[in-house]
């Protein structure tokens, strides 16, 4: 394992390099050279890095290099990491460069041991936008004869374990009316598309969304972007609203039909590809995490991650930092959280190695 000061220095170096989604090349260059200097050849796939150690079935450690742009309200320089009272401030310090530094440290420590599996470290691009990096990693690992037995995604969870996450359906309501001069609309009996849309949005407030999921709660529907009208004195002929629908297992694509049945507007599907995910608590993956960190809580996450692309692979997300700090001005992570994350990932890899069912591919007991 790297010394604590080396892990913290690496983390600050990562934060100091801007890496917005689509602009991760400089950070990927830095990490590729940093790993090479320590004897690790990380293959480059676009701006995604993939390093392997050991042989046999694969345990995937996956976290992301990219960040969102800085939110309004920063009082510090986003790319000049500053440590104050044990807090490291900087864009991406929490989401997810703390996980990057911690996973890199754990990978370097694990490769010194005789592993009964292949440990894959994926440092991926575009997690915040398209998931391109993780999809590239899965395509590359799919060329190997050995299967991926499990995946742990580094996201700021306070080192608790998200075994489920909601999916996302994005719909657009398009209400149609008759455009005309506002002064003559009543006389002409013109249908105002804005009224039609408003009626539909009110109807959605009382829509039956189905049973709540035990970990993820209920499906939610939120109108997020509304558009109507071209001028102050013209009745709109069309009004639209984008719906953000967070779904749970067993209620994903059916939500589109539920919305269609409840509204008079045209319903356009913008995206249904991001389905909810759930991994059983009885999976050896989860059991190994619990042995490595008995105090970790198990929960369901309302936010998305690249876990969505691991459809047939037991997967969870767990990492240092806190989700509520992500994408905020003056984002920070605690130095202690980074070091605790590195120890946890290292302990988890060892616990994985001690899990015969996980390595051999035996069926996990089901509840």
pLDDT in tens, 50-63: 999 999 999 999 99
| 82 within a domain of the structure (yes/no) | yes
d(CA 42, CA 105): 14
Reported confidence tier of residue 181, pLDDT bands at 50, 70, 90: very high
Same domain, 144 and 257: no
Half-sphere exposure of 291 (CA within 13 A, CB side): 17
Last residue of a domain, one of 228, 249, 274: 274
Digit-coded pLDDT (tens) for 312-326: 999 999 999 999 999
Same domain, 137 and 215: no
pLDDT at 356: 66
Same domain, 65 and 149: yes
Same domain, 146 and 26: yes
Last residue of a domain, one of 220, 243, 274: 274
Domain count, the chain: 2
Helix 97-110 and helix 4-15: axis angle, to 10°? 140
| 224 within a domain of the structure (yes/no) | yes
In this predicted structure, which of 145-149, 213-217, 331-335, 361-365 has the lowest mean pLDDT?
A: 361-365
| 258 within a domain of the structure (yes/no) | yes
CATH label of the domain that carries residue 234: 3.30.70.360
Same domain, 171 and 159: no
Average pLDDT over residues 111-115: 90
CATH label of the domain that carries residue 286: 3.40.630.10
pLDDT at 1: 83
| 254 within a domain of the structure (yes/no) | yes
Same domain, 137 and 196: no
Same domain, 68 and 26: yes
- Please say whether the dihedral angle defined by the alpha carbons of residues 111, 112, 113 and 114, taken in this order, is positive or negative: positive
Q: Are 366 and 124 in contact (CB under 8 A)?
A: no
Tell me: pLDDT of 364 over 80.
no
What value does the mean pLDDT of the chain take?
95
Digit-coded pLDDT (tens) for 231-267: 999 999 999 999 999 999 999 999 999 999 999 999 9
Task: Give percent of the chain above pLDDT 90.
Answer: 95
pLDDT at 355: 80
Nearest to 249 by CA among 273, 210, 275: 275
Same domain, 206 and 344: no
pLDDT at 363: 44
| 53 within a domain of the structure (yes/no) | yes
pLDDT at 360: 54
| 366 within a domain of the structure (yes/no) | no
pLDDT at 357: 58
Same domain, 15 and 126: yes
Reported confidence tier of residue 365, pLDDT bands at 50, 70, 90: very low
pLDDT at 359: 52
Average pLDDT over residues 103-121: 95
Reported confidence tier of residue 165, pLDDT bands at 50, 70, 90: very high
SS (H, E, C) the chain: CCCHHHHHHHHHHHHCCCCECCCCHHHHHHHHHHHHCCCCCCEEECCEEEEEEECCCEEEEEEECCECCCCCCCCCCCCCCEEECCEEECCCCCCCHHHHHHHHHHHHHHCCCCCCCEEEEEEECCCCCCCHHHHHHHHHHCCCCCCEEEEEEECCCCCCEEEEECEEEEEEEEEECCCEEHHHHHHHCCCCHHHHHHHHHHHHHCCCCCCCECCCECCEEEEEEEEECCCCCEECCEEEEEEEEEEECCECCHHHHHHHHHCCCEEEEEEEEECCEECCCCCHHHHHHHHHCCCCCEEEECCCCHHHHCCCCCEEECCCCCHHHCCCCCCEEEHHHHHHHHHHHHHHHHHHHCCHHHHHCCCCCCC
Same domain, 46 and 175: no
Digit-coded pLDDT (tens) for 325-336: 999 999 999 999
| 367 within a domain of the structure (yes/no) | no
CB neighbours of 48 closer than 8 A, spacing ≥ 6? 28, 65, 122, 123, 124, 125, 132, 133, 136, 137
Same domain, 95 and 200: no
Same domain, 25 and 80: yes
Last residue of a domain, one of 239, 274, 309: 274
Structural domain of 220: 167-274
Digit-coded pLDDT (tens) for 64-106: 999 999 999 999 999 999 999 999 999 999 999 999 999 999 9
Task: Give percent of the chain above pLDDT 70.
Answer: 97
| 179 within a domain of the structure (yes/no) | yes
């Amino acid at each position: 394992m790297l010394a604590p000061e080396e892990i913290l220095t690496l983390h600050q170096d990562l934060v100091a390099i801007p890496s917005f989604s689509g602009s991760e090349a400089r950070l990927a260059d830095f990490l590729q050279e940093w790993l090479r200097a320590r004897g690790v050849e990380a293959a480059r796939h676009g701006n995604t890095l993939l390093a392997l150690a050991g042989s046999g079935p694969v345990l995937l450690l996956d976290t992301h290099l990219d960040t969102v742009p800085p939110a309004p309200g920063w009082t510090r320089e986003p790319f000049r990491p500053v440590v104050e009272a044990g807090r490291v401030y900087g864009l991406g310090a929490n989401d997810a460069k703390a996980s990057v530094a911690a996973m890199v440290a754990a990978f370097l420590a694990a490769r010194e041991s005789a592993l009964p599996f292949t440990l894959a470290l994926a440092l991926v691009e575009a997690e915040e936008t398209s998931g391109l990096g993780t999809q590239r990693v899965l395509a590359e690992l799919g060329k190997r004869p050995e299967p991926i037995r499990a995946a742990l995604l580094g996201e700021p969870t306070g080192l608790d374990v998200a075994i489920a996450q909601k999916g996302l359906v994005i719909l657009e309501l398009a209400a149609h009316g008759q455009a005309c001069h506002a002064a003559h609309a009543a006389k002409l009996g013109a249908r105002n598309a804005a009224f039609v849309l408003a009626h539909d949005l009110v109807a959605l407030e009382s829509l039956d969304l189905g049973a709540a999921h035990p970990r993820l709660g209920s499906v939610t529907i939120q109108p997020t972007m509304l558009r109507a009208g071209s001028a102050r004195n013209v009745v709109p002929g069309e009004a639209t609203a984008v719906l953000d629908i967070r779904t749970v297992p067993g209620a994903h694509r059916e939500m589109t039909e539920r919305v269609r049945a409840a509204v008079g507007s045209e319903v356009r599907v913008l995206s249904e590809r991001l389905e909810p995910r759930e991994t059983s608590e009885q999976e050896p993956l989860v059991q190994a995490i619990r042995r490595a960190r008995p105090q970790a809580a198990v929960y369901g996450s309302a936010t998305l991650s690249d876990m969505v692309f691991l459809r047939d692979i037991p997967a969870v997300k767990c990492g240092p930092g806190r989700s509520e700090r992500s994408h905020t001005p003056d984002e920070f992570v605690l130095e202690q959280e980074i070091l605790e994350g590195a120890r946890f990932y290292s302990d988890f890899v060892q616990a994985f190695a001690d899990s015969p069912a996980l390595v051999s591919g035996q069926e996990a007991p089901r509840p």
